[in-house]
Structure 1
Amino acid sequence: MKKTREEAHDPEVVLYNRLAVLRAERGLSRQELAAAVGVNYQTIGYLERGDYFPSLELAFRFSEFFHLPIEAIFSRRPFQPLSEVVYPGHDAL
């Protein structure tokens, strides 16, 4: 569902995602990820920036592609930084 920039930054309608991190971990370009899930590469950029929210069907395509549950990719709350998950109680380097 396409949201305006104002709606996308309204705390009531924000959807966070880890697409950029997952893409980087796997060494994928936006074009490669887009081809894998069947969207235009610009859609990946819109999603990563939070300018666009995926349909449920597209969210499932990402889930299947990355072999992760949807909630590991998309969240209504900000994701905790990996450094805090891996090294709880330690300051970031």
Structure 2
Amino acid sequence: MPTLFISAGLRFFLVMFDLINEPFHIHVGDGGRKLCKYWIFADGSFELADSKGFKQRELNDIEATLTAQMALIQEMYGNYCTTNHIAINYKTKRSS
């Protein structure tokens, strides 16, 4: 489970098995009881997929970090996929 970075005591990470079987997403956890997952879209936007234990204020802080670090996140994801021969696979946005 590669760690992309740690911010404010939270680990932003990928799960290799997930990268093979699901569109790109990032997990964020505190190493204990709190964990969430965000789908990442090719345009750099994101969507909360699941959250356990985080309060809305904490999710807002996580989302601010995702916004600030998105270029780095996408670069690291692309590099990780290329190095490990995994197809780059972003989630497709639903039509409104």
Structure-2-length-normalised TM-score: 0.28
Larger RCO, structures 1/2 (Cα 8 Å, 6+ apart)? 1
Q: Which has the higher strand share?
A: 2
Structure-1-length-normalised TM-score: 0.29
Q: Which has the higher helix share?
A: 1
